[in-house]
Structure 1
Amino acid sequence: MQNITRRKFVLTSAGLLAVYTVPTLSALRPLTPRQTPGPFYPKQPPLDNDNNLVQVAGSDTSAQGQITDLYGRVLDRNGHPLDGVRVEIWQCDNNGRYHHPNDRARRPLDPGFQGSGHTVTDSEGRYRFRTIHPVPYPGRTPHIHVAVFPEGRAPFVTQFYVAGEAKNADDFLYRAIPQERRHLVSVDFRSVELSDVQWMAEKDIVLEVTPA
């Protein structure tokens, strides 16, 4: 049967007819693949618990590494924004060390890196973090862990990978994602010439919004 996009006409306050499209099944956005949170999900939030991971409150030392703005939207399958949703990220520092008691590696811990952070989506479903360009640690390709907490629903966890990173091909969790869906968690990091940021990275997160 041929899919026909339904259109509705709405009378605006200006007395004009505005047209918008109601998505059909064929227009549904592909869901972001779910992944494991891994062994280093923060046991407790850092004292400086915000969306800026490269500057810890009370410290004059900034994080080591290449500063990155990571941003995007949280959407449902129809492309509708999910507002007021908590989003968390966590990742290893530029030395490949997690700020977690179970990471007992001998690599030094970067005191200028917050390790994890959170934000809440705005009315357009947007989130934003300032962090570092992800780096590898033994056994893993560079990645950023992401968790989304829709109210009244089960938390959603995934991982973001650097698009085009050679180490992705040997990463067991990246390879566990079907090849045709890997682009949904692969993020293009764009080099920028700004005084305080070296990279910009944008990625939307698409969820199946169902009760927990």
Structure 2
Amino acid sequence: MSEISRRHLLLAAGGALLASPALVLAERLLTPAQTLGPFYPDQLPLDRDNDLVQVEGQAEPARGTRVQLHGLILDGRGQPLAGALVEIWQVDANGIYLHSRGGDRQRRDPGFQGYGRFTTGADGRYRFRTIRPVAYPGRTPHIHLAVTLPGLPRFATQCYIRGEPRNARDGLLNAIRDPQLRELLIVPFVPVTGQVDEQVARFDVVLGATPAS
């Protein structure tokens, strides 16, 4: 399937990506790693593009609030990393993963892709269309994100919603003891002006390793 750019998705933050205060902070602090988790898809979907809310062959789109998730993949000096494979996966609106043990399969939303991927260009940017994550027993809402660069092991982390009350009780999030580092994983999910049930979230990832040349 075509990528979001061919579906005329407009990112609300657009041209401001390279000039925001978040980028200045990103030059100083590396993104904390988190577990890949037990629910990375054990069988990848046939449709694995960066639009998770519309599955090829499914008439109905995903249930849930639409989210434009985007950001930059950077090195420790704040320079963009090209050729980074960015993967995301998360539960659907019913709290079910795209995994054989990820919940009640009968309740899984067939209109939600559950997994997507995007390869960064020279600007280091990635973008996805997905849904606002929901909670499930034992976890606050989150989106899993992994980055793989040529010659380097896969880096995994998770993106959380700023202002979500369950964050304070999430054991995995709060295992990051340094509050400044913990805050790097918590980002605003902001309503898109003029759109109903659509939000935008920016999540930059800063890696300490340098890819092989």
Match of 1:96, as an amino acid? G
**Residue 129 of structure 2 corresponds to which residue in structure 1?**
130
Distance 2:154 2:140 in 1: 24
Answer whether contact 1:29 1:206 (CA < 8 A) is retained: no
Question: Which one-letter code corresponds to 1:199 in the other structure?
Answer: Q
Cα distance in 2, alignment partners of residues 196 and 27 from structure 1: 31
Q: Which amino acid aligns with 2:209?
A: V
Alpha-carbon distance in 1 for matches of 2:197, 2:41: 26
Partner of 1:74: 73
Give runs of ≥4 in structure 1 deviating > 4 Å. Answer: 194-197
Contact 1:95 1:107 in 2 (8 A): no
Cα-to-partner distance string for 1:162-196 (whole Å, 9 max, x where unaligned): 01110000000011012221111111111113447
In the alignment, which residue of structure 1 is the partner of 2:140?
141
Looking at CA atoms only, which structure, 1 or 2, has the larger radius of gyration? 1
Question: What is the alpha-carbon root mean square deviation over aligned residues?
Answer: 1.9
- Which structure shows the higher strand fraction? 1
Describe how 1:107-122 pairs up with structure 2 within 5 A.
108-122=107-121
| Gaps in structure 1 of 5+ consecutive residues | 1-25
Larger relative helix fraction: 2
TM-score by length of 1: 0.83
The equivalent of 1:170 in structure 2 is 169
Q: Which ranges in structure 2 are unaligned for 5 or more consecutive residues?
A: 1-24
Report the counterpart of residue 193 of structure 2 in structure 1.
Answer: 193
SS at match of 1:147: strand
Q: Counterparts of 1:84 and 1:172 in 2: how far apart (Å)?
A: 33
- The percent of aligned pairs where both chains have the same amino acid is 52
Matched, 1:202 2:207: no
SS in 1 for 2:172: helix
In the other structure, the counterpart of 2:32 is 33
SS of the counterpart of 2:67?
Answer: strand
